[in-house]
């Protein structure tokens, strides 16, 4: 995962300024997650220490409803049309695009420090994921949205972002301690959208997709969630801390009270074992709240 080094500061409209959507305007199908206690964290030793996937700990979660898919381009367009909202990528004038997906090479304004396969592209945003000449498909996850942008959508839709614990509970689908939603092994038929080939130069697209897949692709997990891992990273409500699991409350944890970055979960179409194996139920990462990239989106939870 590459962090997009966006300028600091919030350039989007204040979420509190939005009139909530009319009932039924947030049209994503819902998955119901029953109240339960589950073991949160990495039971396989797959994670790296700075990610803070351990210690394993019991978490009691109240019942909640969560979007079965990530918020799509069409859903986000409805929000923008109703509110006139301008994303932070649009305000900054650029966003981070993977080098093989750049649609307008003449619009590249620089590369990300330490991860040169990420390029800052002028005019890349939620409606133009590869650059100004590209077009976002309505049924794909919306990307190039910051945590602040996701919060603004939630304020309008009468929703909220899931907590990190809720997200992991939902992704597991009631199947305890597994590496993936379906089991511990990655089948040869590619049940999720991740990188195939040699990262970061050659993607064979053996799963059928070079970048994002439609939000309702592949088989859902046992709770009915589509693609909780792979495809796009998903923002969670929590501030990130690599030491939080050691002090996490046992019931409905909400994350640290302060932080510099917000949790992202699930990995993306760029994940590959040679670089980033975070396409797992327990995997966690983070980014600054004003950052936007071509592989980060979100799903929401009922308040």
Secondary structure class of 42 (helix, strand, coil): coil
Name the token pair of 269.
């179409």
User: Which tens digit of pLDDT belongs to each residue from 164-183?
Assistant: 999 999 999 999 999 999 99
Q: Check whether 290 has a pLDDT greater than 50.
A: yes
Mean model confidence pLDDT for the chain: 93
* Spatial distance between the Cα atoms of 257 and 234, rounded to a whole number of angstroms: 20
The dihedrals phi and psi of 165, each to the nearest 5 degrees, come to: -65, -40
The alpha carbon of 235 is separated from its chain's Cα centroid by a whole number of angstroms, namely 5
Domain boundaries, the chain: 28-302
Count of CA atoms in the C-beta half-sphere (13 A) of 213? 25
User: Which tens digit of pLDDT belongs to each residue from 17-75?
Assistant: 677 777 778 999 999 999 999 999 999 999 999 999 999 999 999 999 999 999 999 99
User: Which tens digit of pLDDT belongs to each residue from 86-100?
Assistant: 999 999 999 999 999
Question: pTM score, two decimals?
Answer: 0.94
DSSP H helical segments within the chain, as ranges?
73-83, 88-92, 147-157, 164-172
Write the class of the CATH domain 28-302: alpha beta
């Amino acid at each position: 995962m590459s962090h997009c080094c966006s300028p600091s500061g919030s350039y989007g409209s204040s979420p509190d300024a939005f009139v909530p959507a009319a009932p039924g305007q947030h049209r994503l199908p819902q998955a119901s997650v029953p109240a339960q206690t589950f073991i949160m964290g990495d039971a396989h030793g797959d994670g790296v220490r700075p990610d803070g996937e351990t210690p394993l700990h019991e978490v009691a979660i109240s019942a909640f409803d969560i979007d079965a898919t990530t918020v799509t381009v069409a859903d986000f367009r409805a929000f923008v049309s109703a509110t006139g909202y301008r994303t932070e990528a649009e305000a900054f004038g650029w966003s981070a695009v993977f080098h093989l997906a750049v649609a307008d090479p003449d619009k590249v304004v620089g590369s990300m420090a330490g991860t040169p396969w990420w390029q800052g592209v002028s005019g890349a945003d939620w409606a133009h994921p590869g650059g100004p000449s590209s077009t976002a498909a309505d049924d794909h996850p919306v990307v190039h949205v910051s945590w602040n942008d996701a919060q603004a959508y939630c304020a309008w839709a009468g929703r909220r972002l899931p907590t990190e614990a809720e997200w992991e509970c939902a992704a597991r689908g009631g199947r305890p301690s597994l590496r993936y939603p379906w089991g511990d092994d990655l089948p040869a038929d590619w049940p999720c959208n991740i990188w195939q080939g040699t990262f970061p130069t050659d993607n064979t697209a053996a799963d059928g997709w070079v970048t994002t897949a439609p939000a309702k692709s592949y088989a859902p997990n046992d709770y009915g969630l589509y693609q909780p891992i792979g495809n796009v990273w998903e923002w969670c409500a929590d501030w990130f801390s690599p030491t939080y699991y050691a002090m996490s409350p046992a019931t409905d944890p909400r994350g640290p009270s302060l932080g510099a970055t917000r949790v992202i979960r699930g990995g993306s179409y760029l994940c590959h074992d040679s670089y980033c194996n975070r396409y797992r139920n327990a995997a966690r990462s983070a980014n600054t709240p004003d950052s936007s990239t071509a592989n980060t989106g979100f799903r929401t939870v009922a308040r």
